[in-house]
Amino acid sequence: MKELLYEGKAKKVFCTDKPEELLLEYKDDATAFNGKKKEAFRGKGELNNKISSKIFTLLEAKGTPTHFLKELSDTEQLVTRTSIIPLEVVVRNKAAGSLVRRLGIEDGMSLHPPLIELFYKNDDLDDPLINDRHALLLAEVTHKELMTIKEKALKVNDVLLEIFEDCDLSLVDFKLEFGRTEGGDLLLSDEVSPDTCRLRDKQTGAKMDKDVFREGTGELVPVYENILQRLEGATCAK
């Protein structure tokens, strides 16, 4: 029996025989608005496991270390255990979603350089937006670590922009989580998937991510399948 360490909204976290490694099991659940909207989609866990594995592999290949070690099954992956820093690090290339609602910025406005936002990862407080000083107070990171996190996030953005460009997808924004390894290094953790990225088809502008579920405007599973196909096609073509 695998020992369940923690069950989140999208993944279950299990111990392995090695203390420095964890098993992540991707669930079929989709949630939005901090869990207020919730539904299960058969096949979503498998799709996100495969998409996330693919993207982490590509990130590694392009020199960006991640927690990803290997795919273990359709819905499971092996990762380096980290102590998660309770920050949601959002990188935005274009204005969308909460940025538009909160600040009245025009939907789709280009953001150069990309805009980084920090949210305090705390479901009870509804993941509030915070500034750098709040992050030092709440997330127990040093100023230097925070700067490293932002640099890494921008580097990830550069690589993701390239990856999705090859898939004819435009990357509007995404959310990252970083964790601290045993050795004290900051390592990209959690997932990179259509649950955590806003993607648009470059030709039609169609939304190709969890927004179809958030906004109830389309079928989630076919969209995620399409993303996986594009990622597989793009990497085969190289």
Ligand X SMILES: Nc1ncnc2c1ncn2[C@@H]1O[C@H](COP(=O)(O)OP(=O)(O)O)[C@@H](O)[C@H]1O
Which residues would be at the binding site for ligand X (CB under 6 A)?
6, 8-11, 13, 22, 67, 79-82, 84, 177, 179, 189-190
13 binds, among its own copies, Mg ion, ligand X, none (CB under 5 to 8 A by kind): ligand X
Interacting partner of 166 out of ligand X, its own copies, Mg ion, none (Cβ under 5 to 8 A depending on kind): none
- Residue numbers at the binding site for its own copies (CB under 8 A): 102-105, 111, 115-118, 120, 122, 124-125, 128-134, 137-138
Report the site for Mg ion in 122-181 (rule: CB under 5 A).
Answer: none
b/e 170-193 (16+ beta carbons within 10 angstroms → b):
bbbbbbbbbbbbeeeebbbbbbbb
Can the peptide bond before residue 113 be classed as cis, meaning omega within 30 degrees of 0? Answer: yes
- Residue 22: partners with Cβ closer than 8 Å, 6 or more residues away: 5, 13, 14, 15, 16, 78, 79, 80, 81
CB nearer to its own copies: give 132 or 225: 132
Which of Mg ion, its own copies, ligand X, none is residue 137 near (CB under 5 to 8 Å by kind)?
its own copies
Question: What does the radius of gyration of the chain's CA atoms come to, in whole angstroms?
Answer: 17
Beta strand segments in 16-58, E: 21-26, 29-32, 37-40
- 9 and 31 Cβ atoms separated by less than 8 Å: yes
Minimal distance, residue 234 CB to ligand X, in Å? 25
CB of 131 to Mg ion, least distance (A): 22
What span, in angstroms and rounded, lies between the C-alpha atoms of 107 and 97?
A: 8
Which is nearer to its own copies, 98 or 235 (by Cβ)? 98
Q: Which two tokens stand for residue 223?
A: 């969209």
Task: Specify the residue, 128 or 205, whose C-beta has the smaller distance to Mg ion.
Answer: 128
Judged by the rule CB under 5 A, the positions of this chain that interact with Mg ion are 10
